[in-house]
Amino acid sequence: MALRQGVSRLLRSCQPFAAGSEGARGFAASSTSSANGVPVEVHNENGSKRVVVTKALPGDRWLQILIAAGCRVEVSQSADIIQDVATVKKLIGSHCDGVIGQLTEDWGSELFEALKAAGGRAYSNYAVGYNNVKVPEATKRGIPVGNTPGVLTETTAELAAALTLSAARRVPEADVFMRAGKYEGWLPTLFVGQLLQNKTVGIIGAGRIGAAYARMMVEGHKMNLVYFDPYPNKGLEEYIK
């Protein structure tokens, strides 16, 4: 079964709610409850389909969409940073239509069997990658799997650019120096760092993220570029000519 994107399958399985229902009053309304001992925050309590989210997610657009589709959304409030299989199974419970899970969770035969037994229709991995998901196990049980490809390309490239600037300009060292109370005044040689302009940046892997990072460094800092990749990125090469 082909890998599906996002939560679209979850949304298609949810029926729109009538105006004036609990969910229609707005996604901000919520209550606290427990899923087999695991604390959860419940949105749209009377929704026709139950969707479990194993960790609180940033923003609220995803929640608005699910509520608008008539789903009851239960967001885990567990204090555990990484939830084990037993905890996720408790969240799934005896009835669950879909789950939005995390890349830190082991989605293999045990969890997909639990989701199938609970009437699960879809699983969405809150990540670009899905190496934590045994897709054949989901396929065997007729459960579509979704992910979020492409959403972190520029974000990750910007982080790489930030780390590059921090290293070149010795920002972490200067921060520690300042916080330790050692700064007594400006000196010509104090944490001078390196100028990036007209230097050469080397990249191993010129895929989506590597290419985005390359463009940032070439455009923003007028750097020269060399890269290694077993699959030449002709588009990047043409771009930087």
Q: What residue spans define the domains of the chain? A: 4-147, 153-239
Q: Is the pLDDT of residue 158 over 90?
A: yes
Residues 6+ apart with CB under 8 A from 206: 214, 227, 228, 229, 232, 233, 236
What is the arithmetic mean of pLDDT over 115-120?
A: 98
C-alpha 58/C-alpha 72 separation (Å) is: 18
Query: Among 16-25, 159-168, 186-195, 218-227, which is the least confidently predicted range?
Result: 16-25
* DSSP label of 18: P
* pLDDT band with cut points at 50, 70 and 90 for residue 143: very high
Instruction: Supply the mean pLDDT for the chain.
Output: 89
Which CATH topology does 153-239 take? Rossmann fold (3.40.50)
Class of domain 4-147: alpha beta
CA-to-CA distance for 72 and 196, rounded, in angstroms? 51
What is the radius of gyration, based on Cα positions, of the chain?
Answer: 24
Q: What is the pTM of this model?
A: 0.78
% of residues, the chain, pLDDT over 70? 88
Residue 29's pLDDT band (cuts 50, 70, 90): low
**CATH fold match for the domains 4-147 and 153-239:** yes
- CA–CA distance, 66 with 36 (Å, rounded to integer): 23
Count of Cβ atoms closer than 10 Å to residue 86 Cβ = 10
CA dihedral over 231, 196, 200, 173, signed as positive or negative:
negative
Distance, CA of 173 to chain centre: 30
